[in-house]
Structure 1
Amino acid sequence: MSAVSAVLFDRDGTLVADVPYNRDPDRVRTLPGAVEAVALARAAGLPTGVVSNQSGIGRGLLTAEDVTRVNRRADELLGGLDAWLYCPHAPDADCPCRKPRPGLILAAAERLGVPPAECLVVGDIAADVLAARAAGARGVLVPNAATAPVEVRRFARQSAPDALTAVRDALGARPGRWPR
């Protein structure tokens, strides 16, 4: 198992409350443990980033400027992350960046200057864990009320109750804890 050299988080449902197609920065609310998870990774000297599907752009429900404003507010609340990447495409666009494909993870790893295999990806749905796998990274599922029960069961061995626990466990580097 390689060391963790960067932590990548999904945005909605992982770091901030999921407000579908949010275009209003005033509606951004951090989830319990999110600020602490980012702070812990940064205190350990790890670069951090967000990798997020934002299909509202491709569907015509949001603009890139809307997403940038919401991301900027989330970044302020979370204490600052090193990279913010998102896929603007609708699900039927067949792009390489939309999770569960690996494009966002690979781009974030490159931007942060770390091998994808040394990235921890923390997210709330199967697409996050599958994107991590496809990129050769480690994925951790942090289920919430919207996570499908079948996904919770499927990734039970690769899950944590919240983002802070996911980062703590990964930094503890317990061998075999996060199989790919």
Structure 2
Amino acid sequence: MIRPAAVLFDRDDTLVADVPYNGDPGLVRLMPGAREAVRLLRAHDVAVGVVSNQSGIGRGLLTEAQVARVNARIDALLGPLDVWVHCPHVPQDGCACRKPAPGLVLEAARRLGVRPERCAVVGDIGADMGAARAAGARGVLVPTARTLPDEVAAAPLVCADLLDAVLRVLGDVPVAPDGSPLPRRSS
């Protein structure tokens, strides 16, 4: 399996705990393993980004500025990510960007200068896997309490947590318990 050039995470319930329509950076809490997963990707020169549906904007519950402040808080906790792309539309808009459509993944790949098929998309619901599939990227599901059993069954790859997902997409990478890369032993 070829190592991805980029890993694109869903934001809510994947990188950070979901707070519905969150516009308050003070409510941002990283999901377990998020810091270690991002650190490991950086150690292996893999670009890291976020692709996120933010329908609260289209619903009038959030502003672009509030979403930007929440994203900036995540950057402060993880170190600046390489790309942020979000869809501000409501499902009824029928846009090409809202997951499971491929638009967010295609735009993130374009901004990073990589082919979509060299991306892995890590998310917690079927829409994340659908966007990956539609864009030609690799999907990795990290289920949460709101992930439906049918979404788990249909996912191309299911992992227990973010660090497991990153280890799987990177391949054979030795790591310490804190997620930091270990030097390979010579044979």
User: Which band: TM-score by shorter chain?
Assistant: over 0.9
Once the two structures are TM-superposed, the CA of residue 2 in structure 1 deviates from its matched residue by 3.9
Q: Is the 8 A contact 1:100 1:129 kept in 2?
A: yes
Q: Is the 8 A contact 1:2 1:117 kept in 2?
A: no
Q: Is the 8 A contact 2:14 2:122 kept in 1?
A: yes
Superposition pairs of residues 9-88 of structure 1, within 5 angstroms:
9-88=9-88
- Poorly superposed stretches of 4+, deviation over 2 Å: none
- Residues of 2 paired with 1:130 and 1:2: CA distance? 21
- Provide, for residues 34-53 of structure 1, a one-character-per-residue CA deviation record: whole Å limited to 9, x for no partner: 11111111110011100000
Give the secondary structure class of the aligned counterpart of 1:66.
Answer: helix
Q: Is the 8 A contact 2:48 2:81 kept in 1?
A: yes
Q: Does 2:140 match 1:161?
A: no
In structure 2, the gaps of 5 or more residues are 173-187
Give the secondary structure class of the aligned counterpart of 1:158.
Answer: coil
* CA RMSD, 1 decimal: 1.3
**Radius of gyration: which is bigger?**
2
Q: Does 2:171 match 1:172?
A: yes
- Residues of 1 paired with 2:6 and 2:151: CA distance? 24
What is the TM-score when the length of structure 2 is the normalising length? 0.89
- Residues of 1 paired with 2:117 and 2:150: CA distance? 26
User: Which residue in 2 is equivalent to 1:123?
Assistant: 123
User: Which residue in 2 is equivalent to 1:138?
Assistant: 138
- Residues of 2 paired with 1:9 and 1:63: CA distance? 21
Q: Is the 8 A contact 1:58 1:90 kept in 2?
A: yes
Give the secondary structure class of the aligned counterpart of 2:70.
Answer: helix
- Which AA in structure 2 matches 1:22? N
Q: Does 2:134 match 1:106?
A: no
- Which AA in structure 2 matches 1:52? S
What is the TM-score when the length of structure 1 is the normalising length? 0.93
Once the two structures are TM-superposed, the CA of residue 154 in structure 1 deviates from its matched residue by 2.1
| Count of matched residue pairs | 173
- Residues of 2 paired with 1:167 and 1:2: CA distance? 13
